[in-house]
Chains A and B, each alone.
Chain A
């Protein structure tokens, strides 16, 4: 079945540091890939997505590239801010699973001033 593995946290960075959160996946077909962000006490918000190989999703300075050869979708940001402190989830969906979202376990990011 489908699965998503993302790096375990917590991750603690200083403001303006470079961020990478690794995500790899296992899927039976050609999934769409997502990064969601969850701020404390809130639901999930879509951060970015990619629907086919070599697509790059980007939003708010975050980027991730769909790498089919390495089954990866790593999240990066060149300069993090305190306001980026949140939990980040990598996820996938595909037609063979009726487009249900399968999530990684989440990575807590804390950015210190």
Chain B
């Protein structure tokens, strides 16, 4: 079945450490997105990519980085510059009909 796979489901980060969240899709979608979810704040866009080897900052890109070397993959790195990284991270993709498919999320906690 086609879909989006996010891993790991739970991730713990120490202070000053970079961590990378994986997002893989087999839907042949061109566009991929990373959202951050905090309680009571809805979803906020971190980065998005509409084509391989190209990506744009969203509303809250500071402290994050991404790459898009393959159509299927859009990993997100949470760097030590992100001061408050504890959150639920959701990856999504969309195809030509602009219907979004979401992954099941990664919960990141700073320890």
* Given A89-B43, A99-B94, A100-B33, A42 and B105 contact (CB-CB distance below 8 Å): yes
Query: How many residues of A are in contact with the other chain, CB < 8 A?
Result: 20
Query: How many residues of B are in contact with the other chain, CB < 8 A?
Result: 22
> Count the A-B residue pairs with Cβ separation under 8 angstroms: how many?
47
A41 to B33, CA, bound (A): 19
Given B42, B99, B105, which contacts A43 in the complex, CB threshold below 8 Å? Answer: B105
Cβ–Cβ contact A43 & B90, under 8 A: yes
State the Cβ distance, A43 to closest chain B Cβ, in Å.
4
Interface string of B1-27 (1 = CB under 8 A from A): 000101000000000000000000000
Cβ–Cβ contact A46 & B45, under 8 A: no
A98 to B31, CA, bound (A): 10
Interface string of B85-104 (1 = CB under 8 A from A): 00000101010001110111
A48 to B45, CA, bound (A): 21
From A58-66, A77-85, A102-110, the one touching the partner chain is A102-110
State the Cβ distance, B51 to closest chain A Cβ, in Å.
11
A93 to B45, CA, bound (A): 13
* Given A44-B90, A105-B41, A106-B42, A100 and B48 contact (CB-CB distance below 8 Å): yes
Main secondary structure of the interface of B (DSSP, over half): strand
A105 to B12, CA, bound (A): 26
Query: Closest chain B residue to A45 by CB distance?
Result: B102
Residues of chain A within 8 A (CB-CB) of B31 are 99
A36 to B42, CA, bound (A): 12
Known: A99-B31, A100-B33. 10 other contacts (CB 8 A): A42-B104, A43-B90, A43-B102, A44-B43, A44-B92, A45-B102, A100-B45, A100-B48, A101-B33, A105-B42
18 contacts between A and B (CB under 8 A): A42-B104, A43-B4, A43-B90, A43-B102, A43-B104, A44-B43, A44-B92, A44-B100, A46-B100, A93-B98, A99-B94, A99-B98, A100-B48, A100-B58, A101-B43, A101-B45, A104-B42, A106-B40
Chain B residues packing against A (C-beta within 8 Å): 4, 6, 31, 33, 40-43, 45, 48, 50, 58, 90, 92, 94, 98-100, 102-105
